[in-house]
Amino acid sequence: MKTLRVLKWPERAQRAKVLDEINLMARTGSVTDLAECYALYELMGLPYTTRGWRILPEMWCTMLSRGAMQLCFVEDRANLVGSRIISFSAIVFVTDEFCSTARLTLPPYLGVELAQQYLSQKLPVLNRAQVARANAGHGLNVTICFEGWAYDGLSLEQLLAVRAKQSEALHLALSGYRIKEFLADPIGVNALKWFLDAGARIRRDYSNYFRKARFPEPESLRRPRLVGLTRKEALRHPGSNLATLFTYTEPRFHFSRSQRVLLSHAIMGETCEQVAVALSVSLWTVKKRWRAIYDRVADVDGKLLPPLVAYGPRASSRGMERRRPLLNYLRQHFEELRPFERSS
């Protein structure tokens, strides 16, 4: 992968001028968004080595391609200057061992630790097949260890709207997975408060680490903490925002991977032509996959789709009529779009 060029972020005063009105949208992301994420993440000023900063884009791209990471964003669609991304989070599927050592012994800044382990070729993350097996088994560990934001110029009311969209983006990225433990390492008192208000519990404040290492404790705006939530804790406090991530229903249709990818694009409003371009396949292939999807759905739940009675010129419009109730169902059942594979 070529090194990603760091984008220049707008000056704070300039950005404040264009934030009189905002139009927010939550969405998930892909490799094409990594350059903007990197530019935003640099503003955090975290203690990476020069090599660590340099390797981050490659590591993120690797984890995305292997199905080990999910990106989610809050965008300001009304912003006409620079990047539209106001905040981003990168969610990583990690091993049981990594969660355990993070809670007990790892130093602060989990992203820095992941970069070091990537450099030593011991990245403690799950690949796509392992995610699928864990999702069909005992569940997955997820951690937010890369995030960034640009809140300059936002009023308190606008900031509240951004926080609401952050929750929505998190649910877009994680709903439908069988989660057993959630970890995050918020930087600063404001980020910490958001996670605690959402239902997380403090696991470590790293006071002992800074004392033993004889490092001065960072100021409150730069102070790292480790927070988390388990399925058991979520069941005891079901009213919190994060607790809802632990609700899970097994998929009914068991779409193939290629079908899930197509549906993930379609659920974001892409047409067949746009899906064909995004997946680098022919329009005929896209339509063939849709027919296979309809057949699978009809076999499991024949009443979800209206019957196909049109042929010739009206067949395509009838296909859109069948697509609409299916996509509406999938927006409420993200488990149908997640990797799922039982161990043989």
What type of residue is 279?
Answer: L
pLDDT at 8 over 70: no
pLDDT (0 to 100) of residue 11: 41
Using alpha carbons only, give the angle 88, 133, 339 rounded to the nearest 5 degrees: 50
What type of residue is 207?
Answer: S
| pLDDT band, very low/low/confident/very high, at 2 (cuts 50, 70, 90) | very low
pLDDT (0 to 100) of residue 16: 42
* 19-61: pLDDT as tens digits: 468 999 999 999 999 999 999 999 998 999 999 999 999 999 9
* 156-167: pLDDT as tens digits: 999 999 999 999
Integer Cα distance of 26 and 32 in angstroms:
16
pLDDT (0 to 100) of residue 20: 60
Kindly report which listed range (59-63, 68-72, 196-200, 314-318) carries the lowest average pLDDT score.
314-318
In the CATH scheme, what architecture does the domain 12-246 have? Answer: 3-Layer(aba) Sandwich (3.40)
Provide the mean pLDDT of the chain.
89
Specify the pTM: 0.88
Integer Cα distance of 173 and 70 in angstroms:
6
| pLDDT band, very low/low/confident/very high, at 344 (cuts 50, 70, 90) | low
Pairing of strands 201-204, 226-230: antiparallel
- Are the C-beta atoms of 251 and 338 separated by less than 8 Å? yes
Pairing of strands 179-184, 140-149: parallel
Q: CA-CA distances (angstroms) from residue 252 to 276, 304, 331?
A: 26, 12, 14
Domain ranges (residues) in the chain: 12-246, 257-337
* 237-289: pLDDT as tens digits: 888 999 999 999 999 999 999 999 999 999 988 999 999 999 999 999 999 99
pLDDT at 234 over 50: yes
Q: Radius of gyration over alpha carbons of the chain, in Å?
A: 21
